Structure 1
Amino acid sequence: MDADVLKAIEVSNLHMVAPNSLGKLLAGAQRKDIPARTVTHREGDTNPHLELVVSGVVRVFVRAPDGRTMTIRYCRTGSLLGAVSLFASDFSLPASLQTLTATKLLSLSPERVRHMVNEDRKVALALLEELSQRVLTFIYQIPDNAFASVRQRMARHLLDLASEGASAHFAAGLESGPELVIKASQSDLAEAVGTAREVVVRILRELRHEGIVHTDRTGIVILDPARLVQEMRWNISS
């Protein structure tokens, strides 16, 4: 296996699979180089799939009848895409997937994955761990999406788009760190949080005046990540 694939596996739930079984699991897997801004799977697709993000960023988003979109997950190196499609009866993809950057994916054979689940307990446990994490993530997002203000959703997505692991770093109580630069347009942010571009412009202006971010032609620089983490809390008293 290539070094970049091994690195992605090490940070994925597949890291618990023994090398011999991992080799069987990945037999016949195909690498895919996907350009930025490409929709790889659309809402309603019924084809089973399991893909490992080797590099790049993929967003999972839903679209409202009026055309607005909202991002519900960002997937980076080590993320597994499509595990539920292998086991859900009458599966229909509830969201669409789009690359935000040039992305490398490793596409596994659904039939081989199902076979290895039956053959090796650790493969089954790896995918159960993956599915459990997805369920918990979406449950945690219910209050975020239902009760949070647009500004609070903006704060979460700005941190999500920053360097990998930034949210955990600052949520742990660290008050300082290197500058975090986000390469995203105002239209991209509006799509991600399900609002109008004009609202994003207003919120960025507020954050800039409060010293939380700085904006210029190169992107958005997060100056005070700890305050963005505080913004994410939709119910401060809880």
Structure 2
Amino acid sequence: MGADAMSGWISRFPSLADVADPLLRSSLSAVRVMELPSGATVFRGGDPCRNYLLVLEGSVRVQKVSESGREILLYRVESGQSCILTTACLLAGEDYAAEAVTETPVRAVAIPLGLFHEAMGASRPFREFVFRAYAERITSLILLVEAVAFGRMDVRLARCLLERAGDGAELNTTHQDLATELGTAREVISRLLKEFERTGLVRLQRGRIILDDSAELGRIASGAGGNTP
């Protein structure tokens, strides 16, 4: 990849865009851009880690799957972000311990293992970029562990519904998708959604949830109401 092509994707990462480090610029000019369709597996548990990944466009879901098939969403990697599981595997020389699947069509930069370690060893700006992104994601993972271990599921579900609906009043999703995202069983989510529907907070349709009382859902999401399942 030449300098012109590099300048195109590097603008997605402001902390790298202004770096004048010759080694870093040389290393980055050699990377390749991957294009993956929605639903593609980026890596699986047990796969070796060979590239440092930076997402340019789209969304990648990183999740852990138990032996029984139960899934929990660890985090998403979206435009302008890196995958901290990949970072951890590269630094430790270990294989992946989870899997990643594209949720949308994705364009991503793949920096080969050798170039990653070369830049980490010789370029302070690159090291700072890698560890800053790593630290930010570790914080979010700690919050996830706290929520799964200690959080009330009605609070987490209400918050999830509001976040995924955004400024709208409905979202296209399934009970299983929500259960996977919140790290619980589908039956728990279904029971809570039916209770939300009974009290007039939502309406449930096949593959769709309509929010009828976002204000009350917001109150529950803040921990001010609702019942622990």
| Aligned counterpart for 2:108 among listed residues 95, 105, 109 | 105
Percent identity of paired positions between Structure 1 and Structure 2: 24
Change over 3 Å in CA distance of 1:234–1:92 after alignment to 2: farther
Partners of 1:83 and 1:130 within 8 A in 2: no
Distance 2:194 2:46 in 1: 38
Unaligned 5+ residue runs, structure 1? 164-177
The 5 Å alignment of 1:148-163 reads: 148-158=151-161, 161=164
Change over 3 Å in CA distance of 1:149–1:85 after alignment to 2: same
Is residue 181 of structure 2 the alignment partner of residue 192 of structure 1? yes
The equivalent residue for 2:38 is 36
Partner-residue secondary structure (3-state), 1:87: helix
- Report the Cα offset of residue 228 of structure 1: 5.2
Partner-residue secondary structure (3-state), 1:195: coil
The equivalent residue for 2:195 is 206
Larger radius of gyration: 2
Change over 3 Å in CA distance of 1:158–1:130 after alignment to 2: same
The equivalent residue for 2:60 is 58
The equivalent residue for 1:5 is 9
**For residues 124-172 of structure 1, what are the alpha-carbon distances to aligned partners after superposition, in whole Å with 9 as ceiling and x for unaligned?**
1111112212222222222111112333343454456455xxxxxxxxx
The 5 Å alignment of 1:77-92 reads: 77-81=79-83, 82-89=86-93, 91-92=94-95
Is residue 120 of structure 2 the alignment partner of residue 127 of structure 1? no
**Two-structure CA RMSD over aligned residues (Å):** 3.3
**For residues 153-206 of structure 1, what are the alpha-carbon distances to aligned partners after superposition, in whole Å with 9 as ceiling and x for unaligned?**
43454456455xxxxxxxxxxxxxx32653323322222223343433333333
Partner amino acid, structure 2, of 1:122:
P
Change over 3 Å in CA distance of 1:53–1:184 after alignment to 2: farther
* Farther off after superposition, 14-23 or 183-192: 14-23
The equivalent residue for 2:121 is 118
Distance 1:4 1:213 in 2: 44
Partner amino acid, structure 2, of 1:79:
Q
Partner amino acid, structure 1, of 2:192:
I
What TM-score, normalized by structure 1, do the two folds share? 0.74
Is residue 136 of structure 2 the alignment partner of residue 147 of structure 1? no
Change over 3 Å in CA distance of 1:143–1:5 after alignment to 2: same
Is residue 26 of structure 2 the alignment partner of residue 24 of structure 1? yes
The equivalent residue for 1:136 is 139
Partner amino acid, structure 1, of 2:117:
R
Paired residue total: 219
Distance 1:117 1:4 in 2: 22
Partner amino acid, structure 1, of 2:57:
S
What TM-score, normalized by structure 2, do the two folds share? 0.76
* Farther off after superposition, 103-112 or 196-205: 196-205
Partners of 1:71 and 1:193 within 8 A in 2: yes
Unaligned 5+ residue runs, structure 2? none
